[in-house]
Amino acid sequence: MSGDGTGGNGTLGDGTGARGFPAFAARRGSRSRGRSWWGRAWADALEDTALDEETLKKGRAHARTGRLGPITVSPGRVSTTGHEDGAPFRTVLTLEELDEDTWDSLWEKAAERPGVIEELLAGELPPDLLEAAEDARIRLLPGYGDLEAECDCDAFAHPCEHAAALGYQVSWLLDEDAALLLLLRGRGVREAREEARAALLVQAIVGGVGNEDADVTEAGAANADDVTEEARADAAQLPDGTPAEEVFGREPAALPELPPLPGPPVRQDASPGGVGADPLEQLVADAAVRARELLAFTHGFTAEPPAPLDLWRDSVRIAATRPEPRVLARVREACGRPERLDRAAEAWRLGGRAGLAALEEAWTPPSQDTARASTALTAGWEQGELPELEVTENRWTLVGSGRQLRYGRDGRWYPYRQRDGQWWPTAVPQRDPAEALAELLDG
């Protein structure tokens, strides 16, 4: 980085641990406070919490002399070295790191401000992040008693002029890389981006739960009728003067054929950093799964269209397709049935909504379905090789083997294995019970 401290665009760097910066050159007659928004905010906080204005004045002067050495910034700590009358000294400023819960609260509040997370993900540190921190009752900038100073010099004042000078030079560093403030509070920029992205995803997911039943209000209906005669006249023709009735009164063309029915939804793996796809991509994927369910109903694969998901089923869906640890932890807290979530998520991942129903519902299939399954199993196995099966409602258990097939309401067979006294789904369902049984035995 340059040593003149100019710039101040708030661009985030890429550091995730301790970072080193060269010494600043002398600044004869130059400003001692940062020029950027974050640089000025840091200098204001430094001055507001200092006890001695005279020490601050000496610190400003010393910062401009160029006699401080290279600076190291790490979580909770910034340090430098220097020489005074030929004697070396080390100066250290420490700032308390924020804990995990505090960071979570900050990102939750930031996600409520549409522009803040967007700018963070774009590589900026927006000033509105400070307001989000205040909403969460969190101090990003140092407050009274937050910034501790240590120095090897023998000065009586605390902080000494060397520590004050280092504090001002931190404001210059913030001019060049505002993310250093996050690093001082314990977060590298990559981790901060990932956590902010996860908070945005959680807000998008939670915000979409329970909105399916919203009705059109009477006020909205009244507004629809509140159209002036002039507007009606303008709407009666297209921009080129063609009467709208001539165009919109035409017989509509036939819709194209529906695309083939997609396969089951695939689990999205997390990235090495712990956060999966971008929130927009994940929302698009959720929309695609919803479209698949509607197509299944349209093509007659299901008897009824998919109903809106309640809190439990939506939580299971999120847990099945979002492996990010922070998202899963939030879902586990909110779902109301944390002890059942892992099995339910695996059932959803392998079979979607119908797979979850096969896990949770016991029902009696029609007799013709049971007879058809018996015929298929008999035809698919040699004489005497078919395992002994115990049939209870829609569950066909292989006696003494810890294996089971469950017949779903969607007409598919779901393989299960017993684990620690519980039945766990183990593979994608099959239309043919003989194939499902063979896969279950081979697995």
Q: Would you call 139 exposed, middle or buried from its count of C-beta atoms within 10 A (0-12, 13-18, 19+)?
A: middle
Rounded-to-integer distance, Cα 158 and Cα 112, Å: 40
Rounded-to-integer distance, Cα 33 and Cα 38, Å: 11
pLDDT at 277: 47
Helix spans in 322-366 (H): 325-334, 341-360
Beta partners for residue 415, in sequence order? 405
**More confident position, 366 or 291:** 366
Question: Which residues, at least 6 apart from 310, have a Cβ–Cβ distance to it below 8 Å?
Answer: none
Closest CA to 299 of 258, 264, 263, 262: 258
The predicted-structure confidence for 201-243, as pLDDT tens digits, reads as follows 777 776 544 444 434 333 333 343 443 344 344 445 555 566 6
Q: Is the pLDDT of residue 155 over 80?
A: no
Question: Which residues, at least 6 apart from 87, have a Cβ–Cβ distance to it below 8 Å?
Answer: none
Q: What is the mean pLDDT of residues 74-92?
A: 88
The predicted-structure confidence for 244-265, as pLDDT tens digits, reads as follows 556 556 666 776 665 655 555 5
Q: Is the pLDDT of residue 320 over 70?
A: yes
Q: What is the chain's length?
A: 443
Rounded-to-integer distance, Cα 149 and Cα 77, Å: 10
DSSP for 368-387, written as a single string? HHHHHHHHHHHHTS-TTTSP
pLDDT at 241: 62
Question: Which residues, at least 6 apart from 399, have a Cβ–Cβ distance to it below 8 Å?
Answer: 387, 388, 389, 390
pLDDT at 390: 92
pLDDT at 406: 95
The predicted-structure confidence for 398-410, as pLDDT tens digits, reads as follows 998 899 999 998 8
Question: Burial letters for 77-93: b for 16+ Cβ neighbours within 10 Å, e otherwise?
Answer: bbbbbbebeeeebebbb
Q: What is the mean pLDDT of residues 2-13?
A: 41
- Mean of pLDDT over the chain: 78
Q: What is the mean pLDDT of residues 350-357?
A: 88
- What's the predicted TM-score (pTM) here? 0.48
**More confident position, 51 or 262:** 51
pLDDT at 388: 87
